Chains A and B, each alone.
Chain A
């Protein structure tokens, strides 16, 4: 079955540590997105990419970095510069030119 796989499901970060969240899709979608979800805050866009080797900052990109070396993969790194990283992180993808986005089941990041 086609879909979006996020791993790990739970992740813990130590102070000063960078961590990388994985997102893989086999839907052959061109565009991929990362959102952060906090209780009562809805979803906020961190980064998005519409084609390989290109990505743009979303509304809350500070403290995060991404890469898009392959069409099916869009990993997100939460750097030590992100002072409040505890959240539920969601990856999504869509066909370029169509705005329906399909989501993975998220990674919950916590601070040790």
Chain B
């Protein structure tokens, strides 16, 4: 059972455009939603994260939008650059106040930004 569904599998965007990656989750107990960026041959790096008490979080060109009622969250990359070309993973976990910090990952989106 896939608890976090990510789309699209791949995305091609022109330089300067907006990249949008979407994730949907099933478990309403999830309370932490990070996005990771991974370059080939490297480990994932935490990009930005959100908790369900806010609907949007922005850090530079990266924004997470969160819709609790729809159980969906998305990553928006504004002014996309060729250096943003990487695989992006969404994830979710149940952690607040508990002892289980397991992250459940989506299957990833390969983003290519053309110059």
Q: State the A residues within 8 Å of B (CB).
A: 4, 6, 31, 33, 40-45, 48, 50, 58, 90, 92, 94, 96-106
Inside 8 A of A4's CB, which chain B residues have their CB?
43
**Residues on B facing A (Cβ under 8 Å):** 6, 9, 32, 34, 36, 41-46, 49, 89, 93, 95, 99, 101-103, 105-108
When A and B form their complex, what is the total count of cross-chain residue pairs whose Cβ atoms lie within 8 Å?
57
Is B89 within 8 A of A42, CB to CB?
A: yes
A31-B101, A42-B108, A58-B102 known; A103 and B93 CB under 8 Å? no
Cβ contact of B43, chosen from A50, A98, A100, A104, cutoff 8 A:
A104
B102→A45 contact, CB < 8 A: yes
**A6 / chain B contacts, CB cutoff of 8 Å:** 43
Contact yes or no, A90 B46, CB < 8 A? no
When distances are taken between beta carbons in the complex, the residues of chain B under 8 Å from A94 are 101
In the complex, which of the residues A31, A42, A106 contacts B105, with contact meaning CB atoms closer than 8 Å?
Answer: A42
